[in-house]
Amino acid sequence: MFFPKTIAWTLAAATSLATSPAHAAPDPQPDPATQAVSMEEVVVTAGFRDTELMTSAGSISVLDREAMVERAARHLQDTLATMPNVNFSVGGARARFVQMRGVGDLEQFVDPKHFPSVGIVLDGIELSNVASSALLFDAEQIEVLRGPQGTQFGASALAGMINIRSRDPGEEFEADFDAGYGNFESWHVSAAAGGPLSETLRARVAIRQNSSDGFMKNAFLGRDDTQNLDELTARAKFIWDITPDLSADVTTLYVDADNGYDAFTLNNTRTTLSDTPGSDAQEAVAVSARLRWDMGAPGAVQLQSTFSDADERYGFDEDWVFAGFCDGRRCDPAFEFNSSDAIEREREQVTVDLRWLAEHGKLSWVTGAYFHHRQEDMARERFGSFTSNYETDRYAFYGQLELALTERVTARLGIRGEAFNDDYDDSNAVDTQTNATFWSGDATLEFQARVDTLLYATLSRGAKPGGVNTSATSVQPIVAARFQPFVVDRLRFDTETLFNKELGLKGRYLDDRLDLRLSVFHMDRSNAQLESWLWDASTFTFVGFLDNVDDAENYGVELEMDLAVTDAISLLSRVGYLETNVDSMQVFDLDTNTFRTLRDRDQAKAPRWQYHFGLRWQVLPALAANLSIEGRDESFFGYYHNEKLDDYALMNTSLAYQYKRATVRLWARNLLNTQYAVHGLYFANDQRDGFSVNRRHDQFGEGRVYGAELTWAY
């Protein structure tokens, strides 16, 4: 098997490095000729304590502000292709769900979804259920932690966690202004300023407006802005040193995204015919506050609390055409079908996290308590009105011990117990509750093989709560008798647990000019929650549900390398290899119109290969160029059919010229205008053949986009 061979190779390479006589002698003094091109230290802030990337056990990717600017990244989805084994699913104007190592949600309609498999946090504010708010204006860095993060985040991070950190106010006053324009009538303007307000208080305020017509055209309405972006974001951040031992951080966030959603067509083109284009809009207000008290020898106490209130409007034209499309020439008027789906959600979330961090000699520890409350109310208009109310509470206690066994060996053990309670009711008289308790945790052994080489082995366990399949429960009484046993067995789904085994190597070589990070992993998924659908043609009903699969596994490799070739040229490589498997899963096949059992099937949205290669070139002291190529393998996008999203490769570039405090940047993504899909549907939705032929329908990623921007910094 691939995985054992990879482990053997990694262990052999690690042993060779650890026993190399080259480092038996004291470390040589750095060569002044190479210091100019050595890699800078990167600090990861997502854990209990801030740690340096190259000394942090775990498969972690970090994208800094420079990389975001080079890509002209406005939203999290613009950056995920640079991360090994990280994928995303759109289903709207922006990425709504993220997959790591093949684990993650694919889409959302009626079901509250409980908790996504990949968590997203911005300055402590949980954005997992409102991922459209993950805009990157004034962001300092993005940290991607792959694998279960159960000790710290519990059910919020079954497959991994994404931590977005915004810029802190500095010790001196600073200001930034940024404006740009590109094709598809896209433009943005932003401003930020911050610094000390007093000897103990610092603040930073930032605001940005993004706008674009989008890359779809609506021929029926004669418009090219039905897939538009209209996003206003504002943030204020305060750091207050109340006393030498007591400090407070406060972040406030406001997002108003009024985006369009008009993505699917009958002929798989970028030209739609819908008469009621949809929307993917969201208005959110959030606050995060952290209070830290350093008590000296006893350690530090930290209290963090967050609140968010988001109103979401999501909808689409279900038939993808206009009234009167079936005019007797295109299709029989008897098959005329016009429908739209409109969903409004109101979400409130409150979290409180109290922890104690301490160190005593070779031993350090963290212990804490966590509370999470979420309220979600939904109203849907589709062939009538439907409403639902969903409320969850999570209570957790957690702890982590870290012990330096020797000068080179460190052991870490973490555990988290979590109680999950939810309450759901809707206008179809469904009323159900869930009460569950589950455990997460991790055990890690670190070995500093050489001064420049870290080896680690990690066992980690994550859990994701189960619950009721609200869509299936609501329509179960009306589906045909042949489907009743299948649907009844799937009215609820169980808690999923994920057990991850991981080996890794992190090293800094060639006089600190090469950073190497390598990890191999194997994950067992028990009661894996996989999304599937059933189509009942007799009642014209789609039934969506989360299905539990007893046995599924995911394993692979992640490789990241950063090389400073000279003081002017640097290279980076990101490669992810992933194998996934579903041992056995019963589905209703749309093509054969029968039930069948999938065996040894790849999991959905889990491409086997992903890669990103980049070149940075400081052409002149004031002129910098960037070129990157990224791509991924094909992947299934569902289980009830055999259609796949095609593989693709994209080229991106930028050129920046700096003059004093001003920088002018030209940039382009998807330079070769490759057509590729970021989401897919498969069913019969064409009135021209009487809804009798199943077809694949793609939601395309962006075409060639390019622009210019001016940045001024004080």
Specify the pLDDT at position 15. 41
In a domain, 40, yes or no: no
CA dihedral 587, 588, 594, 595 (to 10 degrees): 30
Residue 77 main-chain phi, psi, to 5 deg: -60, -25
Cα(663)–Cα(660) distance, rounded to whole angstroms? 8
- The confidence score (pLDDT) of residue 28 equals 39
Look at residue 113 in the predicted model and tell me its pLDDT.
66
The answer to whether 508 and 23 have CB atoms below 8 angstroms apart is: no
244 lies in some domain: yes
The per-residue pLDDT for 6 is 43
How far, in Å, CA of 472 to CA of 481, rounded?
14
- Host domain of residue 212: 2-19+45-713
Q: Dig out the tokens for 6 from the structure.
A: 């990879």
CA atoms within 13 A on the CB side of 547: 25
**What pLDDT does residue 17 have?**
43
What's the pLDDT score for residue 3?
42
**How far apart, in whole angstroms, are the C-alpha atoms of residue 615 and residue 624?**
11
Instruction: Say what the pLDDT of residue 232 is.
Output: 96
CB atoms within 10 A of CB 573: 15
What phi, psi does 620 have (nearest 5°)? -135, 165
Q: How many CA atoms lie within 13 A of 271 on its CB side?
A: 5
CB 214 within 8 A of CB 260: yes
Q: Residue 39 domain-assigned?
A: no
Closest CA to 492 of 532, 534, 542, 545: 545
H/E segment holding residue 550? strand 541-564
Which stretches of the chain score pLDDT less than 70? 1-39, 109-110, 113, 129-132
Instruction: Indicate the average pLDDT of the chain.
Output: 90
What is residue 11's three-state secondary structure? helix
How far apart, in whole angstroms, are the C-alpha atoms of residue 206 and residue 233?
8
> Strand pairing partners for 238?
203, 250
Instruction: Note the helical H segments in 433-560.
Output: 470-475, 484-488
What pLDDT was estimated at residue 130? 65
Q: What is the reported pLDDT for 622?
A: 96
For 60, 143, 153, 163, the CA distances from 47, given in Å and listed in that order, are 11, 10, 10, 10
Q: What pLDDT sits at residue 30?
A: 40
299: region left, alpha or beta (phi > 0 left; psi from -120 to 50 alpha): left
* Alpha carbon distance 642, 659 (integer Å): 54
Query: By C-alpha distance, which of 656, 580, 575 is closest to 610?
Result: 575
The pLDDT value given to residue 109: 67
Nearest-CA neighbor of 10 among 552, 612, 555? 555
The CATH number that applies at residue 498 is 2.40.170.20
The string of pLDDT tens digits covering residues 648-675 is: 999 999 999 999 999 999 999 999 999 9
CA distances in angstroms from 458 to 5, 161, 443, 472, 505, listed in the order given? 18, 16, 6, 38, 12
| Distance, CA of 546 to CA of 553 (rounded, Å) | 17
Does residue 38 fall inside a structural domain? no
Is 600 inside a domain boundary? yes
Residues, the chain, total? Answer: 714
Q: Which residues contact 606 (CB under 8 A, 6 or more apart)?
A: 87, 99, 101, 102, 554, 578, 580, 635, 636
Beta bridge partners of residue 217, listed in sequence order: 271
Q: Are 32 and 508 in contact (CB under 8 A)?
A: no
| Rounded CA separation 451/595 (Å) | 58
pLDDT for res 539: 83
Q: Can you tell me the distance from the alpha carbon of 141 to that of 144, in angstroms, rounded to the nearest whole number?
A: 10
Domains in the chain, number: 1
The answer as to whether 145 is a domain residue is: yes
- The answer to whether position 221 is within a domain reads yes
In a domain, 548, yes or no: yes
Residue 196, SS3 per DSSP: strand
Which tokens is 185 given?
């009538």
pLDDT attached to residue 475: 84
Provide the strand spans (E) within 451-495.
Answer: 453-464, 467-468, 492-493
**What's the confidence (pLDDT) of residue 41?**
83
How confident is the model at residue 586, as a pLDDT? 94
Residue from 596, 515, 597, 500 nearest 554 by CA:
500
- Which tokens is 150 given? 């159960």
**φ and ψ at 156, to 5 degrees?**
-80, -10
Nearest alpha carbon to residue 321 among 406, 402, 246, 219: 219
